[in-house]
Amino acid sequence: MILAHPNIEESIGNKIISNIIAQQKNTEVRHLDQLYPDFKIDIKTEQEALLSAETIVFQYPLFWYSTPAILKEWIDQVFQYGFAFGANSYNLEGKKIILSFTIGSPTTDYPQDIIDKITFHLKGLSQYCKMDFLGVLFCNDINNYTDGAKEKAIDRSNSQAEKLIELINQ
């Protein structure tokens, strides 16, 4: 799992989901914000981690219809020409990839056509690199404004983690 969250200790959803995934056999959670607080990505280490993975999960909170900056930088640095694509070097070909994210806003703010637009670039990345795109998982209303909202966010996050495990194990 490639986890991008700038304040994981204050997180509800991403913290729950990544903790549950970390407890699964043969998994590794690479928390980019902790590994690279200065945004200086160790490209070789990250490429080796990808090569050893069967399934790659991008886990993040949705920020203004996009990923957190560290995930964008990580993709820009790690998915290099000659490694992830081009020059007959599709080293990630056939690897499974899943997008998993949380949204603080209600479902009504993000209908399916908006989700499709938001995830278009990452679906394209997987196709361009000849990866096997397994799908998109997300949960809305992940916020902690009230006690009731927090309980619902916890339930939604646990449910998303269960769905993610099922998708990973397909």
CATH code of residue 30: 3.40.50.360
Task: Give the whole-angstrom CA distance, residue 122 versus residue 144.
Answer: 28
Nearest Cα to Cα of residue 32 among 14, 5, 67: 5
> Cα separation of 110 and 130, whole Å?
28
Q: What percent of the chain has pLDDT over 70?
A: 99
Q: Which of the two residues, 37 and 141, has the higher pLDDT score?
A: 37
Q: What is the mean pLDDT of residues 141-168?
A: 87
Confidence check: pLDDT of 2 > 90: yes
- Please tell me the pTM assigned to this model: 0.94
Assign residue 111 a region: left if phi > 0, alpha if psi is -120 to 50, beta otherwise?
A: beta
Which range is least confidently modeled, 8-12, 30-34, 54-58, 116-120? 8-12
CA angle 133, 161, 6 (to 5 degrees): 85
Strands (E), 15-165: 30-31, 55-61, 96-102, 132-139
**For residue range 50-109, what is the model confidence (pLDDT) as tens digits?**
999 999 999 999 999 999 999 999 999 999 999 999 988 999 999 999 999 999 888 899
Residue range 118-139: average pLDDT? 96
Which strand (E) or helix (H) includes residue 49? helix 43-52
Which residue, among 62, 76, 52, has the nearest Cα to 138 in the 3D structure?
62
Mean pLDDT of 158-166: 95
Q: What is the pLDDT of residue 144?
A: 66
Give residue 15's domain range. Answer: 2-168
Q: Is the pLDDT of residue 4 over 90?
A: yes
Task: Tell me if 136 sits within 8 A of 97, measured CB to CB.
Answer: no
Q: How far apart are CA 81 and CA 94, in angstroms?
A: 17
CA dihedral (160, 116, 120, 90) positive or negative: positive
pLDDT at 161 over 70: yes
Here the tokens at position 147 are: 């006690």
The domain total for the chain is: 1
Better-predicted residue by pLDDT, 106 or 164: 164
Beta-strand (E) ranges in the chain? 2-3, 30-31, 55-61, 96-102, 132-139
